Amino acid sequence: MAESWIKMRASLLTNPKVIRTARALLDDAEFQEWFGITLRHGASRHASQTVTERDETSVATVTVSVTDRHAQRHAVDVTIVTRIVVGASVPLWSQANDCAGEDGFLEGAGLFEIDSMSGVPGLGRAMQAVGWIELLPNGEGLRFSNFNEHNTVGKERSAGAKTGADRSREYRERLKKRTTEEGENGVTKRDVTQRDGKRDASRDTVTTEKRRVEKKRKGAKAPMSADNLPTWMTGLVDLYHEVLPELPGVRVMDKARDQALRDFRDWVLTSKRQDGTPRATNDAEVLDWAREYFGRARNNDFIMGRGPRSPDHQNWRCSIEYLLSSRGMKKVIEETADQP
């Protein structure tokens, strides 16, 4: 909602006022107790200690100041407390954004309210010290200095903001006026809504689903059958049945089998014999080479199931997929006396 918005700058952590506020908090006794800083730690910032140093030839007593040590600790604390300041400012400025009047005036509020809204004891005094808030006399309240420089109070923003009902009513009026004007020229209401780029959500859902189904149907491949397979593919399958009738026949054509046949054909067309000549340059030559290849497979005892088998291959039978695979082609081509 618009009235929940406040501006947060990316550089807020390094803002000089944030750092000064953090330093002021570190000197605040109430914040020290809440934050866990002991009084001894605060009192010892300017203390010193005597250290006796010895070497092989002399003994020297040196007074060492611990101011630097505590200055380093204080710098670390400031880095941490700046993050507390920024985090506490978010709910505080949000309340000011919702409740403050013009010029960031918060009626009847004081430092206690600032600490309560932010959740950090002493933050009101620290923000007052750096000029972020100004206490008004006689308990009138306080003012967030320059609040409108980066934020607009919610009341001012909401006064001129349109509600959802207002926007819907204006749209319907524009649509009605447009429909009336265009209708005189033979343009339908549906044409107008399409031209405006806005449609009824239910109609969009139905139309989108219909288009998705039509696209799926249009892009789908026809079921695989002997009627729609390429001539070279049916010829290759027929050769397998003719030359190797003992092996399992091809009764089902699916995507995997279709792809295996295509890969086999591509390999025959792109590979070469030992003498450097191509095995085939067209589909007719592919089928000629396949006839020789299947014939060579008949002479392989392992493929045809002749002779003893190992336990792992006891029930194994060669299929067309095996003969079309790289492993099968190596078995047939490399384990025969003559290469096809």
Query: Splitting the chain (340 residues) into consecutive groups of 10 residues, what average pLDDT does each group show?
Result: 54 84 89 72 46 50 52 70 86 78 77 88 90 85 74 56 73 79 58 50 54 58 63 93 92 91 95 91 94 91 83 86 91 71
For residues 271 and 333, is the Cβ–Cβ distance under 8 A? no
Residue 257 tokens, joined: 């089998």
Domain boundaries, the chain: 2-158, 162-219, 231-334
Angle subtended by helix axes 111-118 and 67-99, to nearest 10: 90
Can you tell me the distance from the alpha carbon of 167 to that of 269, in angstroms, rounded to the nearest whole number?
68
**pLDDT on residue 279:** 93
**Number of neighbours of residue 24 by Cβ within 10 angstroms:** 20
Residue ranges of E strands in the chain? 48-54, 59-65, 105-107, 133-135, 141-144
**Number of neighbours of residue 16 by Cβ within 10 angstroms:** 8
Can you tell me the distance from the alpha carbon of 314 to that of 305, in angstroms, rounded to the nearest whole number?
9
Can you tell me the distance from the alpha carbon of 92 to that of 86, in angstroms, rounded to the nearest whole number?
10
Angle subtended by helix axes 283-298 and 326-334, to nearest 10: 70
Look up tokens 């806005």; give the residue. 198
Can you tell me the distance from the alpha carbon of 251 to that of 261, in angstroms, rounded to the nearest whole number?
14
**pLDDT on residue 71:** 57
Q: Which residues contact 114 (CB under 8 A, 6 or more apart)?
A: 92, 123, 124, 127, 133, 142
Partners of residue 65 on adjacent β-strands: 48
Distances in Å between the Cα of 283 and the Cα atoms of 223, 268, 273 are: 23, 10, 17
**pLDDT on residue 78:** 85
Can you tell me the distance from the alpha carbon of 166 to that of 179, in angstroms, rounded to the nearest whole number?
20
For the whole model, what pTM was predicted?
Answer: 0.37
Can you tell me the distance from the alpha carbon of 178 to that of 175, in angstroms, rounded to the nearest whole number?
5
Residue 259: phi, psi to the nearest 5? -65, -35
Residue 151 tokens, joined: 């934020």
For residues 30 and 112, is the Cβ–Cβ distance under 8 A? no
**pLDDT on residue 338:** 61
Angle subtended by helix axes 255-270 and 231-243, to nearest 10: 90
